[in-house]
Amino acid sequence: MEVRHVKARQGLQWIMSGFYLFRIAPMAWMLLCFTLILIAMTLSILPLLGQFIFTLISPVFLAGMMLGCQKLEQGEKLEITHLFAGFKKNTAPLITVGGIYLIGQVLIVGIVMLIGGTAMMDMLLQGKRVDENELMEVADDMLSATLVALALSIPLLMAAWFSPLLVAFHNIPPVLAMKKSFFACLKNMLPLQLYGVILIILTVIAIIPYGLGLIVLIPIIFTSIYVSYKDIFLSEPLAIKKNQPAAPEDITWPTTEEEIPTEGDMVKCGQCGLHIPRNEAVSVEDKHFCSDEHRQQYQSSSERKETE
């Protein structure tokens, strides 16, 4: 399976397509994410051990949600049982991915403690007060420890980002899946950077109304992971198959066979290349555009080429 290099603007497209996938079944997505958060909160009752357990099984839950994305794309319903679908197939390899990630986290914390020293750990964990001189030393150590933790955590996150999907969809062994995930993220660093910056901005906006925006943002993060996986590993845009009959008022009866849509609900803008729902596109003959402005730009560019 070849890893594809995509353009930087795809980072925005992943979020837009993720929102489109969320919009198909918003209540089901909210229920799934609420259940996942409830499981995490329940396990957090067990000090330290609960966090370890959740880290181990989190790839299993992620794989289940990605299987739910796949079913939703195929025109089927998203159900709460999809959250636990990862426990029915490839459970051991998925938990292995969680175990490798957990070991990596523990090692990073150990390195941070060594760099920060006992004074920093006493101040952070026990709230110990220090004088001005000690505070300057602790601040220097804390900055160094933070930079080292960031430098080590990013590669670990890159290795774990796509690995549950590769295990669930392609039966790839855990170590090889994490290796492929790391190099896929490395090869597509620019779109992932844009993706991360946009998510940070959206997170700030979502937190402003008492955190209510996270109800929508968290499911979009999961759906955008599935979209990015398809784009990078399968070279496929999101294509929703609608099996549900349309409401009578929404039906447009075709007059000829050529007007009957054949397959795919996503089209590519002829000007910027973004994939958008067919029913939201501006169509001219066999070309589709994401806006009337892009249609005009495309036609102006074509006219200039003809005159030249």
Q: Which two tokens mark 214? A: 């996270």
Mean pLDDT for the stretch of residues 248-262: 40
Q: What is the mean pLDDT of residues 140-157?
A: 85
Query: Could you give the angle at the alpha carbon of 122 between the alpha carbons of 116 and 124, nearest 5°?
Result: 75
Model pLDDT, residue 125: 58
Confidence of residue 123 (pLDDT cuts 50, 70, 90): low
Count other Cβ atoms within 10 Å, centred on residue 74.
11
32-52: average pLDDT: 91
Give whole-number Cα distances, 121 to 73, 79, 148, 224, in Å: 48, 44, 16, 37
pLDDT tens column, 225-238: 999 999 999 888 88
Across 169-180, average pLDDT: 94
CA–CA gap between residue 62 and residue 229 (Å, rounded): 13
pLDDT band at residue 263 under the 50/70/90 scheme: very low
| Predicted local confidence at residue 210, as pLDDT | 87
The pLDDT-based confidence of 48 (bands split at 50, 70, 90) is confident
DSSP summary character for residue 208: T
Structure-token pair, residue 252:
């447009």
- The proportion of the chain whose per-residue pLDDT surpasses 90, expressed as a percent, equals 54
Tell me: pLDDT of 245 over 60: no
Contact 186, 153 (CB under 8 A): no
pLDDT beyond 90 at 190: yes
Backbone angles phi, psi at 217, to 5 degrees: -70, -40
Q: Are 179 and 159 in contact (CB under 8 A)?
A: yes
